[in-house]
Structure 1
């Protein structure tokens, strides 16, 4: 009984051994070159069939010919291509000749740029022309001085001299009035209808100079060119520094107030836009009404304009101004006839 059992077990062991060796041989073949050894001990190794334990080893050249060759060739191609591209620029750099054109050019003569500059710059010719004109004037004046002939003043020069003289009279009278102390003499008539040069009385109100901006029979210009009135502007600047208020009167409406202000600034008469401008507050308002309103809290010590009605509206109702001859002493003593200060 025991003998049959032992024989059965031995047979089963051989079958199991063959199965194990076969199982071990499968990965060897699939791995293409891997050697696996199945170990058995004792008598079992001798009883195993010969075909199941011998595995043929693949040739050693197979690994280097398949995968490694492809892998090695790829990096070689990748590195060799940039090397050729890097070597490419060396050929044109070495072959490019140095530019010879600057060496061939010759500088132009020094006289040509000067001539071109003078021809292209009208400012230089204008300056030269002005210098020549000034030189000619100096020579003419010298010749007249030597010959004893005095030059005849032009109409514009005469008008300018008269204006400067009038501005000087305004300054002189104002300084004299301020030095007289309070009460200050007013430049307004106490009773215009009497045609008598009797002045109003002023309390200790701020001294004020009123200047009319409208030319005779017209309105103050608000456009067009305007000259800087340095003579009157200088006098008014001094008066402001002495505490005198400057007021301007015009029949322009409120919509033109800004334009009037800009014109005063541009002419130098009120460069800092500090003065008061009395425009027409409603249609038909008289300038006398505005002067009277100002006189309620100011002492009008001087008035300036280009016609007598700028001093009092009574002249607008006279058929003949000679009928108010009794008021002529006011001229130069509070009333001052001047050219329109903002005229063109």
Structure 2
């Protein structure tokens, strides 16, 4: 009896072995709540209020610019001219006949990528994956919402006589999907090569300056909106690894006076060049405190 039963026992054990995954291969459970940065940006009143504050300020600024143009007074472009630097900024000259325009980044500036970030939150935030993002661009056009205040502000700017331009690092090959996302959220129209500029449209790579300059051939761009410093000038790029330096640069000289007066920043604590830095980068040595009371 024992010898007859042994093969069955071994078969049962073998079956258990094939059904049991090593602990290291078991996917971790989904977090019970989204990361705090997502809670804040997508769920909080405070996040929505800051976005509306930026868009209200932008619309007030462009109203003044539009009035100046109507009165025949000169207006200033928000686009740094070729050869200009952050410490000696010069701006593209606006021809008198050029229509006024405002240019916006897309992701987390006019569109909130709720579907993509939901997938990130449920799966545990993963390293950046270009292929995954491309799949999102193609499938997520109806899984976005406009940034609070964006629809109203862009309508106001159009009523002021401005053209709305979009400058995004989304893929050119997925331009039809990006157009659908923008227009489906009530932010359009978005016309490829005219009011919609995507990565690779003008020059290789993800730099946005060539697209800004190309659009400036046709429009006097008086306002920029974005959630990353690169949405205003590619010259911020080399500063991104110098955390104290980049904070100093945005408050220096003429650049400091552009925030809220041509350059408008939307909040994004989720990703990008602003979400890096070690303890040494973020906390000055003379401003650190350790609670000794509980020791």
- Relative to the length of structure 2, the TM-score reads 0.56
Match of 1:336 in 2: 264
Match of 2:54 in 1: 166
For 2:164 and 2:54, the matched residues in 1 are separated by 17
Structure with the higher helix share, 1 or 2: 1
1:61-111 Cα offsets, whole Å, 9 max, x none, are xxxxxxxxxxxxxxxxxxxxxxxxxxxxxxxxxxxxxxxxxxxxxxxxxxx
User: 1:279 and 2:213 equivalent?
Assistant: no
User: 1:213 and 2:106 equivalent?
Assistant: yes
* Paired residue secondary structure (1:187): coil
* Selected match of 2:211 from 282, 290, 299: 290
For 2:163 and 2:58, the matched residues in 1 are separated by 14
For 1:157 and 1:322, the matched residues in 2 are separated by 26
1:40-75 Cα offsets, whole Å, 9 max, x none, are xxxxxxxxxxxxxxxxxxxxxxxxxxxxxxxxxxxx
Aligned 8 A contact 1:212 1:248 in 2: yes
| CA spacing shift, 1:194–1:268, aligned 2, 3 Å | closer
Note the C-alpha offset of 1:169: 0.4
Aligned 8 A contact 1:228 1:266 in 2: no
Match of 2:84 in 1: 192
User: 1:250 and 2:168 equivalent?
Assistant: yes
Note the C-alpha offset of 1:339: 4.0
* Paired residue secondary structure (2:196): strand
| CA spacing shift, 1:273–1:290, aligned 2, 3 Å | closer
Match of 1:260 in 2: 178
* Selected match of 1:313 from 204, 224, 234: 234
Q: Greater relative contact order (Cα 8 A, min sep 6): structure 1 or 2?
A: 2
For 2:190 and 2:233, the matched residues in 1 are separated by 26
Aligned alpha-carbon RMSD (Å): 2.8
Comparing 157-166 with 194-203, which one deviates more in the overlay?
194-203
Note the C-alpha offset of 1:230: 5.8
**Which stretches in structure 2 are left out of the alignment for 5+ residues?**
1-41, 110-127, 272-295
Instruction: Output aligned runs, 1:89-108, within 5 Å.
Output: none
Aligned 8 A contact 2:52 2:149 in 1: yes
